[in-house]
Structure 1
Amino acid sequence: MSQERHSRCADVGNDGGALNLSPDELVGRNQHLLKELQVARTALIKERTRLKNREKTKNLPLLKPQSKARLDQITRQLTQLEEALLDLLIQSPKKARAFDILCLLLGLGAITAMTILVECLEIGTMIDKQIASLAGLAP
């Protein structure tokens, strides 16, 4: 049984043509940097949400200005991260083009477009049916 299975595998894998496999594209260094910036941005968004929620329950006058100062700092840091994300994103002509196309869609802003391009590496490499399936809209 083992020899039979081995010989069938050998027949299929002689030239790789039977499976029509193609190598995956390498993820560039920029993609790793984009992901790192996106993770940092997500952490700041979570911290901002936490601070805003806690703001409602603060009773001590000392804590309110501290919270406001931290929220202002987070806002500045978010702006810096978003600018860095955009700068890095447009260094790749392919991603810059995809970003421009995504921004043309009604209701889709720059932040959402950047997030899609960082999180969904498949964008721009799939046909319509594959995209619908990825989004859960088709079987």
Structure 2
Amino acid sequence: MKLLSLWNSARERRKELQDRLWHLKVEEMRLRFEWDKMLIRRNSVTVLSSKTEEGLSLKYEEFQKLCLAEKRLGSIDSIKDKRTSKASGMYYLFVYYCDFDLITGYSLSEYNEAIRRYDNKSGEIVRLQEELDRKKGFFQRFF
């Protein structure tokens, strides 16, 4: 009887956690929309060139450092397409990336606060998911 009672209370707790997880995921999505609407996205492309592959790698690293130094909002999504010109012997790297700017009317502090709230929800979701995974192990021991 005691085992059945323990199993029932664990099952109830798991159901509560799953409901809480669902609500947190909805809240996380709402917060994502909140900070996403503050941004405008621009797609860009740049072409890096060098006589050697090593030089091309260095130019790409410089490009990444420059992007970090400019403190662009969001992440830079780059797709590299490397080509070699047979005529000149030059190596080319086409980098496609997206850039984000704040829409006029929003301050950087408002944006950072929205991101912080989103990150807090995401962290809470991860912790809750881990707890549910542990509970899952409890149920699997009996079946």
Structures share fold, TM-score greater than 0.5: no
Quickly name the TM-score band, shorter chain normalised. 0.3 to 0.5
Give TM-score, length-normalised by structure 2: 0.41
Relative contact order higher in (CA < 8 Å, ≥ 6 apart) = 2
**Structure with greater proportional strand content:** 2
Larger Rg belongs to: 2
Give TM-score, length-normalised by structure 1: 0.42
